[in-house]
Amino acid sequence: MASEIAIIGDHFMLPEVLEEKILEACEERVVTRTRKDPWPDVPMEHGYASPGMDGLKEYLGTAEDVVEFVGAAEVLVTHLAPMSRGMLESLPGLKLIAVSRGGPVNVDIEAARDHGVLVVSTPGRNATAVAEFTIGAILTETRKIREGHEALRAGNWRGDLYRADMTGRELNEMAVGVIGYGNIGTKVVRLLRAFGSRILVHDPYVQLDPEDAAAGVELVPFHRLLAESDVVTLHSRVTVETRGMMNAEAFALMKNDALFVNTARGPLCDYEALYEALAEGGLGAAMIETFGVEPVPSDWPLLKLPNVTLTPHIAGASVGTVACAANQAAEEVRRYLAGEPPCNPC
């Protein structure tokens, strides 16, 4: 008998791509139905905003609509659909939730465990996309791409950016500090090695890959990375330890002409402290891709500074990310149906 699979995608994680990959992996063993939610054309929600969704983050959809769509399905494959304790109680037939993102923050993992529902995710799905974006972000600032662009938009030819005392520096001249050496951080390191940068890494829970160590990458304490780096790029997960790690004290340790890049998560950074450091000359520039509140308020002070580049949380958005996540989710479904252990249980 074919297993019933409910697929809830959106305009990024396309449900038709998820369905295609699942059907390829599982052949005749499944019956699928799909739904496309309107993200990112509409913003995600957080659990504190809706009754019964406490603890859930970055989700889209109401409990009633999702429960109705999932119905008697044994498997739910989703990107952003919420799954709370109350919803799980209404879905006794659900046995597997495959979340096509690295961290399934839209699912109550403890409640799923209590109800015997396996939750899997797709870690590293956007690692290449974010790593490449990070290099682009660094080059945008260090080679004066933003400054030249903004000047030309305003009708000003910045020929002075060719002055030796005004122009940018090459990556092979600089020390780059990489905070977090996981799926993304390791890829950033590999890309930086190709540019010839001196690379410092801080991550207290890992050892350097032998190839990186042999290439001269250094694993160093946090304070040393901050003090010696010309560029500091953040790639840690948000935990009790890392929340707010880039605070006033951290920025004070950095060089006053250093570049700070955050393509990780907003809660890792104290943005008030970052504003003060940038506005008062404690830092040279920043490239910010993620924020504590998204979308950011239109009157947010960092939007007004001339030495900041900002993007709307798009580093992980690539066609390759969609294909990678869909393939990983499909493989998890195949393994579940075949009675094999999951690759990435949560």
The tens digit of pLDDT for each residue in 156-201 reads 999 999 999 999 999 999 999 999 999 999 999 999 999 999 999 9
Active site residue 332: no
Active-site position among 79, 146, 198, 313? 313
Tens-place pLDDT, residues 28-47:
789 999 999 999 999 888 77
Fold for 127-310, please state it. Answer: Rossmann fold (3.40.50)
d(CA 202, CA 221): 6
Radius of gyration of the chain (CA): 22
Question: What is the percent of the chain with per-residue pLDDT over 90, rounded to a whole number?
Answer: 92
pLDDT at residue number 46: 79
CATH topology identical between 3-124+318-338 and 127-310: yes
256-296: per-residue pLDDT in tens? 999 999 999 999 999 999 999 999 999 999 999 999 888 88
Q: Mapping DSSP to helix (H, G, I), strand (E, B) and coil, where does residue 90 land?
A: coil
> Looking only at Cα atoms, what is the longest distance across the chain?
72
Q: What are the sequence ranges of the domains in the chain? A: 3-124+318-338, 127-310
Catalytic residue among 125, 265, 289, 334: 265
Q: What is the pLDDT of residue 48?
A: 74
The reported pTM is 0.90
Cβ atoms within 10 Å of 11's Cβ, excluding its own = 13
CA 227 vs CA 25, 55, 145, 169, 186: distances in Å: 49, 37, 25, 18, 21
Q: Which of 68, 110, 294, 340 is catalytic?
A: 294
Asked if 34 and 100 touch (Cβ cutoff 8 Å), the reply is no
User: How confident is residue 55, by pLDDT bands cut at 50, 70 and 90?
Assistant: confident
Q: In the structure encoding, which two tokens stand for residue 273, read together?
A: 């402290």
* Cα atoms in the 13 Å half-sphere on the side-chain side of 250: 24
Question: Does residue 241 carry a catalytic annotation?
Answer: no
Q: Nearest-CA neighbor of 57 among 48, 46, 43?
A: 46
**Fold annotation for 3-124+318-338:** Rossmann fold (3.40.50)
75-78 and 118-120 beta bridge pairing: unpaired
pLDDT-based confidence at 204, cuts 50/70/90?
very high
Structure confidence at residue 113 (pLDDT): 97
- The question of whether 313 is a catalytic residue gets the answer yes
Instruction: List Cβ neighbours of 104 (8 Å cut-off, separation of 6 or more).
Output: 97, 119, 121, 346
Q: Is the pLDDT of residue 313 over 80?
A: yes
Record the tokens describing residue 290, joined without a space.
């993620």
**pLDDT given at position 301:** 94
Q: Where are the alpha helices (DSSP H) in the chain?
A: 15-26, 63-70, 85-89, 109-114, 127-142, 145-153, 183-195, 210-214, 222-228, 248-253, 271-279, 319-338
